[in-house]
Amino acid sequence: MRKYHISLLISLFLLALIKPEAWAKSACNEPVPEIFKRISPSVVFISAISFDPFKAKDRLSTSVGSGFIISKEGLILTNSHLVFGHQTIDVILDSGLSTRAELVGVDPFLDLAVLRISVPGKNLPVAILGDSNAVQTGEDVLAIGNPFGLEQTLTKGIISGINRTLSASPMSPELPLIQTDAAVNPGNSGGPLVNDCGEVIGINTAMLGQGENINFAVPINMAKRVLPQLIAKGRVIRPWLGVGGKFIQKELGQIINLPLVDGFMVETVEPESPAEQAGLNEGDLPVTLAGTEYLFGGDIIVAINGHAFTDRDELAKFVDSLRVGDKVRLTLYYGGETREVEMQLTERPLLLGDF
């Protein structure tokens, strides 16, 4: 009996050491209706109008979607494709109040935008931002938004996968996304993907048109990482080489009878980019192999600053570690010969992907 009491006391002592946050995280069993009541007031309806003066008719177009309030000062997080390039942006709050919004910052690369509304005397409801790095496949999630203009719609599903990449996306084709089967439709874009603790873990952004209930969200940690720049500078400042392409292996050369090496094959060179100024060659020979399209004939980047890269992720991380103004040395393979060029990185334009 004495041993039992000692064990009980030790257990109670250890439980007392557990932080309250850990208790809250392990006890996220709040009923879905309660989560919806708590989160939905922070979700807004967004309508943006663009005007094309060069069209003879149908010069006005409207984009509708969702967003959610992230600060008492009226900051709203949403998708850039809903609001970027539009002349007017209007927001309707859960209360029914309609107000004009200001575009604070935009990042088409991550498909993120920050808006600001001014509602004097209003105590704005704010969404709680969670940790997308902690999500696991199989977890329950909720999507809240305004599909087809239907206000405050809730759908439920699970995390179907993490670190998904889309080959055909208006954003970076290598952006790791959260995949969910929670029903997402036009109008849900920009709305929150919420975990069973009522925390936002993603921003709904894309649907796979050929599939059923295959939808994607930008991880909230990506948004949290760039929010300070979006708010302070209106954009995310990134270095830019000005090339697009894909990694290849020299074995491909045996199939198409071309001299190739392992490396990043340059398929396109952006006008006025550091790569163009350094004289890089882009591809001019389209070839499709096993369903994959290639544009051969350009330079192959073998190494940068003497370091060879084995995949696109490694190259992307390296480029992300660079800063605007840095000088880099490229080792290039072209037509059976190797050469080196040096370039100074400029800031990446808003609308361009790749490197």
Active-site positions read 81, 111, 189
Query: How far is CA 311 from each of CA 215, 238, 289, 316, rounded to the nearest angstrom?
Result: 26, 20, 19, 9
* Enclosing H/E stretch for 65: strand 60-69
* 3-state class (DSSP) for residue 8: helix
Amino acid in the structure at residue 268? T
Residue 253 phi, psi (nearest 5): -60, -30
Rounded distance between C-alpha atoms, residue 188 and residue 216, angstroms? 11
Question: Alpha-carbon distance 84 to 253, whole Å?
Answer: 42
Say which DSSP state 306 is in: T
* Neighbouring residues of 338: CB distance < 8 A, sequence distance ≥ 6: 302, 331, 332
Q: Exposed/middle/buried for 52, CB within 10 Å: 0-12, 13-18, 19+?
A: exposed
How many Å apart are CA 171 and CA 164, to the nearest integer? 13
Coarse DSSP helix, strand, coil percentages of the chain, rounded to the nearest 5 percent:
20, 35, 40
Q: b vs e for 174-189, b when ≥16 Cβ sit within 10 Å of the residue's Cβ?
A: ebbbbbbbbbbbebbb
Q: Distance from CA of residue 198 to its chain's centroid? A: 21
| Neighbour-count burial for 255-275, b at 16+ CB within 10 Å, e otherwise | eeeeebebbbbbbbbbeebbb
Residue 13, both tokens: 């002592």
